[in-house]
Amino acid sequence: MQEERTDWLTFVVRYRDGSLDRFAVDPFTVLRGNYIAGNDARKRQEEGNLKLGEIVLVYRDRRLLFLREISPSLILSMDPN
């Protein structure tokens, strides 16, 4: 069984038809620049991991999607009150 990574960054792909898809990129790849995610999205389309269609935008998703467990201290530090 492959362990799920929690430190990867999530990117959103927006297609011409308005639909969205998400994929994860390791943090070392993103160090080369966020534009790498666009290249990665097209490569994933060719491999069949993302749906086919014209990609109009790829951007970083700021939500914490890949965290399995969130510690109470993290939740408190994110509380705006």
pLDDT digits (tens, 9 = 90+) for 31-70: 887 788 999 999 999 999 999 999 999 998 887 554 444 4
d(CA 9, CA 28): 10
43 falls within a domain: yes
74 falls within a domain: yes
The yes-or-no verdict on residue 14 having pLDDT over 50 is: yes
Instruction: Indicate the DSSP class of residue 3.
Output: P
67 falls within a domain: yes
2 falls within a domain: no
4 falls within a domain: no
Token code pair at residue 50? 């993302």
3 falls within a domain: no
pLDDT of residue 15: 97
d(CA 33, CA 54): 22
What range defines the domain where residue 57 resides? Answer: 9-78
36 falls within a domain: yes
pTM above 0.85, yes or no: no
Domain count, the chain: 1
68: helix, strand or coil: coil
